[in-house]
Amino acid sequence: MQYKDDLANGYVNGHYVGIRQGTPTPDKLEPAADGYEVPRGTVRQGTVTPDALEPNYPEPVDP
């Protein structure tokens, strides 16, 4: 299952990637890339344990 990004809080597809400081390094081959393609493309197997403070987080991407 894939999850929606929450870059404001440092999450990409349910993975904590930290809060970005500055801007991404430009990529001549893929100028629109932001550096999070691998976590974004990862499909999780199994379940994610819900957080008691945020029970609906991370939010799944609609299939």
**63 pLDDT above the threshold of 70:** no
Instruction: Categorize the per-residue pLDDT at 5 as very low, low, confident or very high, splitting at 50, 70 and 90.
Output: very high
Helix/strand/coil (H/E/C) assignment for every residue in the chain: CCECCEHHHCEECCEECCCCCCCCCCCCCCCCCCCCHHHHHCCCCCCCCCCCCCCCCCCECCC
pLDDT by residue (tens digit) across 14-57?
Answer: 888 988 888 777 788 888 888 888 888 888 777 767 777 777 78
pLDDT for the residue 22: 80
Q: Which residues contact 50 (CB under 8 A, 6 or more apart)?
A: 56, 57
